Amino acid sequence: NSPETQHNVQNLEKAGILNKTKVSENGKKVRKNWTQTWTVLHGGVLTFHKDPKSAAMGASNKTNQIVPEFTVELRGATIGWASKDKSSKKNVLELKGKNGVEFLIQYDTESIINDWHKVLTDTIRQLEYQ
């Protein structure tokens, strides 16, 4: 856990809108539910947030509208392009976390999904050496 590797992982930060669906939980297949999701990579953890429209909000405080829904610890996770049989959509990534959790991540714009693929791959690699 050298200061250098910590520094590197901390540099690997990104946020944006992606389409995602969970496909497995505890190693068991779950029904897909594609949703547009505000997605944040920070400190080796990927966080999917609830759709502000569907998240139950009392007050209209905008900062309260970003509610984490799922987090995936990237240490020990794998990321790769999903095979064609996983989805009919294009540009689909498959993220497998520990504890049998699996997400598909998708975005039509190739450059955007390529950037996510790279940063997630780099993060997972960096975490291997910590």
Q: Which residues bind ligand I3S (CB under 6 A)?
A: 31-32, 34, 87-89
Nearer to ligand I3S, 2 or 88 (CB): 88
DSSP string, 69-85: EEEEE-TT-EEEEPPGG
Nearer to ligand I3S, 28 or 62 (CB): 28
**Cα–Cα distance measured from residue 114 to residue 74, given in angstroms and rounded to the nearest whole number:** 18
44 phi-psi bin (left φ>0, alpha ψ -120 to 50, beta other): left
Residue 21 Cβ, how far from ligand I3S at the closest point, in Å? 7
**Cα–Cα distance measured from residue 52 to residue 62, given in angstroms and rounded to the nearest whole number:** 9
Residue 86 Cβ, how far from ligand I3S at the closest point, in Å? 7
Contact 86, 92 (CB under 8 A): yes
Residue 88 Cβ, how far from ligand I3S at the closest point, in Å? 3
**Cα–Cα distance measured from residue 124 to residue 118, given in angstroms and rounded to the nearest whole number:** 10
Nearer to ligand I3S, 5 or 87 (CB): 87
Residue 108 Cβ, how far from ligand I3S at the closest point, in Å? 12
Nearer to ligand I3S, 31 or 53 (CB): 31
